[in-house]
Structure 1
């Protein structure tokens, strides 16, 4: 069974005039989120620590006629996060949307017994603290927009408790909880905050995942096929759009029915 091409489904004007920052967008899901937003009419800043890949991605998107800018930043560094948010708002003339996609998974394959404290701390620093600080740094621009949207990337591993991935699972569970708190605090500013929890998706970041884990997902999904970036990007675009202005504090599990939340 082939995956649906979301680019052919999402209207080209769904995000017309909207200005969006996508972190962790040099490749994989983040790049697909940016590509989808651009195709839907948004102006986009892609941000990542992978400088060479980021610049190459931006050049390719610009060659296709898209209004895109690249900003190199480090999500483990609070000053770098602040500078990224400010630069993105300057480049786009404001911000209407933020996709918090930047994350690391370095604890993969280690049991909770073998996991080291410094690695746990690193994962939490990037995935949890970084998501909070980036949202905080973007708030002035999102408030000024009057129609701000924040989409936090979680993971369905936090819903079923994937083994040998505890630091990552803990961090994504924290992102889910944090999303609800953010939504409560920012609702009066007309800012929506939602989380998307993809299943195991075929991207560069999941190349290390053992084949048996891929098989587990594919065989136990209601829709029994591999998951590709297009499967997730349409949902993120919806949450950035005016179609979802009364949706906030929600978690959307996008995994073909592996976990039904």
Structure 2
């Protein structure tokens, strides 16, 4: 296995939605690569346990409360995390909700639609804005937005989530052009269906659809996605921006 222990040495990174699942896997891999990492999440007790476990391994991490539906919470989290980190070199916009899974379009009510958009789209936008001054000061800032492969193939019965992740892809491209003059790269990682706590609701048939349709026909796990995030945060990708990297075993190829 490639030694990545120094890939992000000295970097300061904020990961949202980092208490568990993919976010925790990202935060762990980033810290193992030498970075100082702020983990943010609304699941305070779970976050505290995850942070304690990482600290127990000697990793330089701290947890911060975050409600992505609350603009004031986003501002407070960004300020506190940046203060503890002493600046900011990388932002991983991972926090998101699904909520519309298993429902056709006509069964998604306005409140559900708005809640998904408030967290996944508005929240990602506001967190990015709150972090931009520190990222611009870095000189090698990197933003990694967690999209999804669902808008790349048009996953059914998940419309609010699919639309929100399509918006994240669009924001990634636009922000890449806006922030290029500040030496900030902005890329999106689009995982396929990954086995984590947040996808426990997904029926077995959908997992089988993915597995049968992948070039690499096996279950996708968090470690399959961490490499793409590390790449997008590191100097290996300093001339890569505005891109969407589909990490799904070849279920979608673009």
Listed as ranges, the gaps of 5+ residues in structure 1 are 1-7
1:200 CA displacement: 0.2
1:11 CA displacement: 1.4
Task: Tell me the equivalent position of 1:26.
Answer: 19
Task: Tell me the equivalent position of 2:97.
Answer: 104
Q: How does 1:90-239 map to 2 (within 5 A)?
A: 90-239=83-232
Partner of 1:133: helix, strand, or coil?
helix
Equivalent residue in structure 2 for 1:76, among 62, 69, 85: 69
Task: Tell me the equivalent position of 2:2.
Answer: 9
Equivalent residue in structure 1 for 2:52, among 54, 59, 79: 59
Taking structure 2 as the reference length, the TM-score comes to 0.99
Task: Tell me the equivalent position of 2:244.
Answer: 251
The CA distance in 2 between the partners of 1:163 and 1:220, in whole Å, is 15
RMSD: 0.6
Residues 151, 236 of structure 1: 8 Å contact kept: yes
1:34-70 deviation line (CA, Å, top 9, x unaligned) = 0000110000000000000000000000000000000
Listed as ranges, the gaps of 5+ residues in structure 2 are none
The CA distance in 2 between the partners of 1:20 and 1:243, in whole Å, is 16
Partner of 2:63: helix, strand, or coil?
strand
Task: Tell me the equivalent position of 2:36.
Answer: 43
Partner of 1:195: helix, strand, or coil?
strand
The CA distance in 2 between the partners of 1:160 and 1:51, in whole Å, is 34
The CA distance in 2 between the partners of 1:164 and 1:260, in whole Å, is 22
Partner of 2:40: helix, strand, or coil?
strand
1:170-212 deviation line (CA, Å, top 9, x unaligned) = 0000000010000000000000000000000010000000000
1:138-164 deviation line (CA, Å, top 9, x unaligned) = 011101101100000000001111111
The CA distance in 2 between the partners of 1:137 and 1:213, in whole Å, is 37
Partner of 1:74: helix, strand, or coil?
coil
Aligned pairs, how many?
A: 254
Taking structure 1 as the reference length, the TM-score comes to 0.96
The CA distance in 2 between the partners of 1:43 and 1:95, in whole Å, is 10
1:9 CA displacement: 2.8
1:56-105 deviation line (CA, Å, top 9, x unaligned) = 00000000000000001100111110111111110010000000000000
